[in-house]
Amino acid sequence: MAHDPALAWLDAHYQAMPPVAALGVSIAGYDGDALRLRAPLALHVNDKGCAFGGSMASLMTLAGWGLFTLHVRAVGLDADVFVADSSVKFRQPLYADLAVEAWRAGDETWDDALAALRTRGRARMFIAACVRGTDGVVAAESRARFVAVAKG
Amino acid sequence: MAHDPALAWLDAHYQAMPPVAALGVSIAGYDGDALRLRAPLALHVNDKGCAFGGSMASLMTLAGWGLFTLHVRAVGLDADVFVADSSVKFRQPLYADLAVEAWRAGDETWDDALAALRTRGRARMFIAACVRGTDGVVAAESRARFVAVAKG
């Protein structure tokens, strides 16, 4: 992904945060709609040999945060992006490396949110995410509300 | 807390899990009702200089898991404890070390859950948790459903 300057920036931003660097995250893909991350199971294994639920929640939060941040930067805005609330359902144990994906949920479009950020200095978006195993089975799903606050 | 064998066991169990060791967690207290954990902000700081939301969600999950596990062990049972779902509200940025607390929520008592685990091999509990700053202000709150499945 290093050939895309926006993703290279996001990756550097991720790795500069100690709790994110500890997650062993790498960017697996971005098509403008969905952001995909990966992380090795070895860093996230719990006492049962599967992925720790807290790690899956962290990775989904991080994917949602990254997705919103990419959209904000793509239109030349600068904002702090926060997670405001989230709900997570854990479907089944995951015994493989973690593939995480986040995408827009809810009725507001990215254009709506970015217009609000530009005119009112604040925007919110609902973002869904999931964690899959290498067999494609969904181990965890989330829906979260993120808020962006314009800087300066 | 090392004088309490149950907490010494829990601490060793925590530190044996790579994603938990990476959180820098220590056990701050347990009175039979609430389990308290601590973690240094330095390991959890995000791009805004405050605690990463994903870290706070992880720590609350971990506190709930530990609380349920302590109750299971206290009556001599052996079970795998999983988080099944959770919802988190992030109240405000936290610029201090993280103090996490988890306690029983919902109508079921520990006695109810442990009786179900003993007789049916399975039990669930709703557990609430929060993350506070050193000034006592609540930065994040959660409510999660945990499931215990008897081993063997």
Q: Which of A74-78, A144-148, B135-139 has the lowest mean pLDDT?
A: B135-139
For range B53-59, the mean pLDDT: 94
pLDDT digits (tens, 9 = 90+) for A83-132: 999 999 999 999 999 999 999 998 999 999 999 999 999 999 999 999 99
**Residue B1 predicted with pLDDT over 70:** no
**Residue A1 predicted with pLDDT over 60:** no
Q: How does residue B2 score in pLDDT terms, banded at 50, 70 and 90?
A: low
Q: What whole-number distance in Å separates Cα of residue B102 and Cα of residue B140?
A: 12
Query: Which H helix or E strand runs over B21?
Result: helix B18-21
For A116, the 3-state DSSP assignment is helix
Q: Which residue has the higher pLDDT, B68 or B4?
A: B68
Minimal Cα distance from B17: which residue of A?
Answer: A46
Q: Does A2 touch chain B (CB under 8 A)?
A: no
Q: How many CA atoms does the CB half-sphere of A38 hold within 13 Å?
A: 11
Give the CATH number of the domain where residue A83 resides.
3.10.129.10
Instruction: Say whether B83 and A62 touch across the interface (CB within 8 A).
Output: no
Instruction: Say whether B52 and A20 touch across the interface (CB within 8 A).
Output: yes
Tell me the DSSP string of B112-128.
HHHHHHHHHSEEEEEEE
Q: Does A151 touch chain B (CB under 8 A)?
A: no
Chain A residues whose CB is inside 8 A of the B21 CB are none
**Residue B130 predicted with pLDDT over 70:** yes
- Mean pLDDT for all residues in chain A: 94
Best residue in B45, B46, B94 for a mutation probing chain A (most A CBs within 10 Å): B46
As a three-state string, the secondary structure of A59-88 is: HHHHHHHHHHHHHHHHCCCCEEEEEEEEEE
Measure A92 CA to nearest chain B CA, in Å: 9
Q: How many domains, in total, are found in chain A?
A: 1
Please name the residues in contact with B87: beta carbons below 8 A apart, sequence gap of 6 or more. Answer: A85, A86, A87, A88, B142, B143, B144
C-alpha triplet B11, B12, B16: angle, nearest 5°? 115
Burial class (CB within 10 angstroms; exposed 0-12, middle 13-18, buried 19+) of B32: exposed
- Please state, as a whole number, how many other Cβ atoms lie within 10 Å of the Cβ of residue B15: 12
**Residue B115 predicted with pLDDT over 90:** yes
pLDDT at res. A135: 73
**Residue B122 predicted with pLDDT over 90:** yes
C-alpha triplet B99, A21, A24: angle, nearest 5°? 115
Which phi and psi (to 5°) does residue B19 adopt?
-70, -25
Host domain of residue B37? 5-150
Report the complex ipTM.
Answer: 0.90
Q: Does A91 touch chain B (CB under 8 A)?
A: no
Q: Which of residues 9-68 of A touch B (CB under 8 A)?
A: 13, 16-20, 22-23, 42-48, 52-55, 57-59, 61-62, 65
Q: What whole-number distance in Å separates Cα of residue A17 and Cα of residue A1?
A: 19
Amino acid identity, residue A61? T
Chain A residues whose CB is inside 8 A of the B57 CB are 54, 57-58, 61, 86, 88
Chain A residues whose CB is inside 8 A of the B83 CB are 53-54, 90
Q: What whole-number distance in Å separates Cα of residue B99 and Cα of residue B136?
A: 9
| Both structure tokens of B100 | 């996490």
Instruction: Say whether A84 and B87 touch across the interface (CB within 8 A).
Output: no
- Order across the sheet with A26-30: list the strands: A26-30, A35-39, A98-105, A122-132, A138-150, A79-90, B79-90, B138-150, B122-132, B98-105, B35-39, B26-30
